[in-house]
Amino acid sequence: MITPPRRMITKKLGELLVEQKIIKESELQKALQMQKEKGGLLGSILVLLGFATEEQIAQALTTQYGFPYLPLKNYEIDQEIVKLIPRNVAEQYALIAIDKVGNSLTVAMSNPLNLHAIEDIELITNCKVQTFVSTQSDIKAIIIRYYATNP
């Protein structure tokens, strides 16, 4: 069974980013309007508009929900661990398996609130999933690097 995040701040992502002076209120309103019109995740929209970086969004998610942040740029992962999750699933959910101890699989993902993704990974691997937050571009680069020879 999936355990919800332990610590949760009730402030919304946008409010946190404004409070931390990462974005202005006017930028938040513009991003929220775009989200209302076109859909999508607020963090992704803020990055697309150039108002925030992926790292700033990831850090805000760690503040908001208590997920640890893991930059993957120089992170080495055991190829056998990566293979536990098929490439198409890793790409679909923007996540990567990074460690396994016993029945516990550690996964870095750009959207740690995607409970459907976590459930799927638990079914595929028969492991309990622990999540870390990482940026979508870091995860994409890792997927390309580790699945290049073994799709």
pLDDT, tens digit, for every residue of 64-80? 878 888 888 888 899 89
Give yes or no: residues 61 and 84 share one domain.
Answer: no
CATH of residue 99's domain is 3.30.300.160
pLDDT in tens, 100-145: 999 999 999 988 889 999 999 999 999 999 999 999 899 999 999 8
CA–CA distances in Å: residue 62 to residues 30, 34, 109 = 24, 24, 12
Q: Among residues 42, 65, 88, which one ends one of the domains?
A: 65
From CA 55, how far away is CA 51, in angstroms rounded?
A: 12
- Tell me what pLDDT residue 8 has: 52
Is residue 122 in some structural domain?
yes
Task: Please tell me the total count of domains within the chain.
Answer: 2
Cα distance between residue 2 and residue 109, in whole Å: 15
Q: Which range of residues forms the domain containing residue 114? A: 79-147
Whether the pTM exceeds 0.85: the reply is no
Kindly state whether residues 42 and 89 are assigned to the same domain: no
Does residue 74 form part of some domain?
no
